[in-house]
A and B are shown apart, each in its own frame.
Chain A
Amino acid sequence: MLSSHIMAAAPVAAQHASSYLPIALQIVFAIGFVALMIFVSALLGPKRKTNDKLANFTSGITTHGNARQPMAIKYFLIAILFVLFDVEVIFFYPYAVNFKSLSWTGFYEILLFVGLFLIGFVYIIKKRALKWED
């Protein structure tokens, strides 16, 4: 009787908060497991500290100076522009998968999208954002 009731309510059940219980359980387990592992390994593992072991390791080269030094703002500009055009490429993946089913409509729309990006590229070039020497 009860089980048939549940079966009938199954399509509607998706909206109840209780159906998120497995996710909550998984979160609890994930956090608990990681915390336990860190705690137990810190407790059981042997600790032999030497100066060499505590030093920063950067691929064998001895470190010198602080990493937090001011650097040219141009690096950031280039990095940001790279992200912009890199994300553009990511949008091509879903298009490539649906290339045939979208046919010409999809082609025109992706052309519009690339066109807008090209306008941005022209703007960047004209504003000399990629000019390295001043």
Chain B
Amino acid sequence: MNAIILSAIFGIVMMLSSAFVKNTKAYKSIALVGLILLLLANICETYSHAWLNIPTFDMLEFSRFGLYFNTLAIACTILFSAFSQREIERVGRYIGEYFALIFFVLCGIFILSSYNNLLMLFIGIEIMSIPLYILTGARKENLKSNEASLKYFLMGSFSTGILLMGIALVYGGTGDFALVHHGQDISTSIAGAMNKRMSFLDVAGMILILTGMCFKVSAAPFHFWAPDIYDGSPSVFTSFMATIVKAGAFIAFIRLFAIREEETTILENAIIGVDWKMLFSIIIVATLLFGNITAIFQQSVKRMLAYSSIAQAGFMLFSLLSLNDTAKEGLLLYVVAYSVATIGLFGILAKMKDYTLAGYNGMAKSHPTLAFANAIFLLSLSGIPLTIGFFAKYYMLMAVIQTGGYMWVAIVGVIFAVISVFYYFRVIWSMYFKEGTVELKYPVTKGFKILAVVMALIIILLGAFPQVILNFLYF
């Protein structure tokens, strides 16, 4: 509750400071202070010091997993705002508003990590998405940015409509919006008794919700929006959308299906004739196939990263196939690994003049520090040992193998991980083994370089000791 309310308040504070504070340099400092306070408040709540105890009537439920995810999301946002503060200032005139919208997106993500009611799922998705439509079109004079914003808005609202239809059908099938009932005897309440019975309406609703959520996490076959929108929107906001927001959507996704699996048995699903695990394995294989194969043919690094984010979403979907404890731990690791690496890559990309692969030629000679950091980020994304990306992929595959019977999905995953190495290494190849001069659009400060190296070190250190992240989940 701390995080939800404070993030909304800080959003309003940023909004007002953009109206009253004249100094444009001050916004990022206000935002950073707000984010750090948010982080502290959330950590306080994790260790049972909730400052605000507002009765939510079972609409929200704050679990350790959700709160810890909030902490990771805020930490990644701090990293993001610190690393690309200059780029946010360069997007347009409304700097304070950009930070306000980022706070509102975070508010939506916090709701998504703790909802216990399908209505809250819908509200969370909306609070998360609507500011993003604006951020996508933040570069007003740029036609591509406008196009991306309109496309995102139309398709996003359409998918939200499908999600809402799914929620309505689930309500029709079970007579209940709640995921879990607390504090009342389920067997006596009519809604609880019905919850146990699977009906076709219920299953049809869940499939529609699955469709809507697959759109939000850009899983195939609902991924078509992702490349255009990631390519068109300003690079800073692409990195925010592709990392923290996508992770938030994944948390909502896994929360819904994990709780649902506890509520219904495999037998009940079999009676209806829906094999969710098979459905998820088809989605995973399709996502990995589309993401990886199309990424190979991209010449623009920004577009390649957009397709690679689809491919990475395929890997994160492994957690939805297995839905066990390893999968939850793996998802947290994956969020950190993927977010840190992608924020770093996009942060450096935003400084460059030429987004194509040729633009990276000879970076190791002219900017050795940035090239080193870039190389570490790419190694982590491709899952090379001694980086956190390796352990993230390892946990995901282990979770699938623990499920049993889905070995073939794990094997397909490994094959596509190997394919992904090809296009990540192509960037490293052009940085280190090709001649050329890298032209930067904006000067690189010393602080930026230090932060890039720090992020690379985080990736290596966590790759050596991945338990550091997971320990906080339990202690």
Residues of A within 8 A of B (CB): 11-12, 14-17, 116, 119, 122-123, 126-127
Q: Is B57 close to A, CB under 8 A? A: no
Contacts of B15 in A (CB 8 A): 119, 123
Sampled A-B contacts (18; CB under 8 Å): A14-B175, A15-B172, A15-B173, A15-B174, A15-B175, A15-B194, A15-B201, A16-B199, A17-B199, A17-B200, A116-B12, A119-B12, A119-B15, A119-B16, A123-B15, A123-B16, A123-B19, A126-B19
Residues of B within 8 A of A (CB): 12, 15-16, 19-20, 172-175, 190, 194, 197, 199-201
Q: Which residue of A lies closest to B8 (CB)?
A: A116
- Taking the closest CB of chain A, its distance from the CB of B103, in whole angstroms, is 14
* Cα-based distance from A17 to B174 in the complex (angstroms): 12
Task: Known A17-B200, A17-B201, A116-B12; judge A11-B190 contact (CB<8 A).
Answer: yes
- Taking the closest CB of chain A, its distance from the CB of B139, in whole angstroms, is 18
- Taking the closest CB of chain B, its distance from the CB of A95, in whole angstroms, is 18
* Cα-based distance from A116 to B13 in the complex (angstroms): 11
Contacts of A14 in B (CB 8 A): 175
Q: Which residue of A lies closest to B204 (CB)?
A: A17
- Taking the closest CB of chain B, its distance from the CB of A13, in whole angstroms, is 11
Q: A15-B172, A126-B20, A127-B19 are in contact. List 17 more A-B contacts (CB 8 A).
A: A14-B175, A15-B174, A15-B175, A15-B194, A15-B197, A15-B201, A17-B199, A17-B200, A17-B201, A116-B12, A119-B12, A119-B16, A122-B16, A122-B19, A123-B16, A123-B19, A126-B19
Interface of B is mostly: helix
- Taking the closest CB of chain A, its distance from the CB of B467, in whole angstroms, is 43
- Taking the closest CB of chain A, its distance from the CB of B195, in whole angstroms, is 10
* Cα-based distance from A47 to B228 in the complex (angstroms): 51
Contacts of A15 in B (CB 8 A): 172-175, 194, 197, 199, 201
Q: Which residue of B lies closest to A12 (CB)?
A: B194
* Cα-based distance from A132 to B12 in the complex (angstroms): 25
Q: Which residue of A lies closest to B100 (CB)?
A: A123
- Taking the closest CB of chain B, its distance from the CB of A4, in whole angstroms, is 20
Interface centre among B19, B173, B174, B175 (most CB of A within 10 A): B19
- Taking the closest CB of chain B, its distance from the CB of A26, in whole angstroms, is 17
Contacts of A16 in B (CB 8 A): 199
- Taking the closest CB of chain A, its distance from the CB of B112, in whole angstroms, is 21
Q: Which residue of A lies closest to B12 (CB)?
A: A119
Q: Which residue of B lies closest to A124 (CB)?
A: B19
* Cα-based distance from A14 to B199 in the complex (angstroms): 12
* Cα-based distance from A123 to B199 in the complex (angstroms): 49
Contacts of B174 in A (CB 8 A): 15
Interface centre among A116, A122, A123, A126 (most CB of B within 10 A): A123
* Cα-based distance from A119 to B201 in the complex (angstroms): 43
Contacts of B19 in A (CB 8 A): 122-123, 126-127
- Taking the closest CB of chain B, its distance from the CB of A84, in whole angstroms, is 13
* Cα-based distance from A123 to B20 in the complex (angstroms): 9
Contacts of A116 in B (CB 8 A): 12
- Taking the closest CB of chain B, its distance from the CB of A43, in whole angstroms, is 37
Contacts of B199 in A (CB 8 A): 15-17
Contacts of A122 in B (CB 8 A): 16, 19
* Cα-based distance from A71 to B396 in the complex (angstroms): 55
- Taking the closest CB of chain A, its distance from the CB of B193, in whole angstroms, is 8
- Taking the closest CB of chain B, its distance from the CB of A6, in whole angstroms, is 18
Contacts of B175 in A (CB 8 A): 14-15
- Taking the closest CB of chain A, its distance from the CB of B1, in whole angstroms, is 15
* Cα-based distance from A14 to B12 in the complex (angstroms): 44
* Cα-based distance from A16 to B173 in the complex (angstroms): 8
Contacts of B201 in A (CB 8 A): 15, 17
* Cα-based distance from A52 to B174 in the complex (angstroms): 58
- Taking the closest CB of chain B, its distance from the CB of A53, in whole angstroms, is 39
Q: Which residue of B lies closest to A14 (CB)?
A: B175
* Cα-based distance from A25 to B250 in the complex (angstroms): 40
Q: Which residue of B lies closest to A116 (CB)?
A: B12
- Taking the closest CB of chain A, its distance from the CB of B18, in whole angstroms, is 8
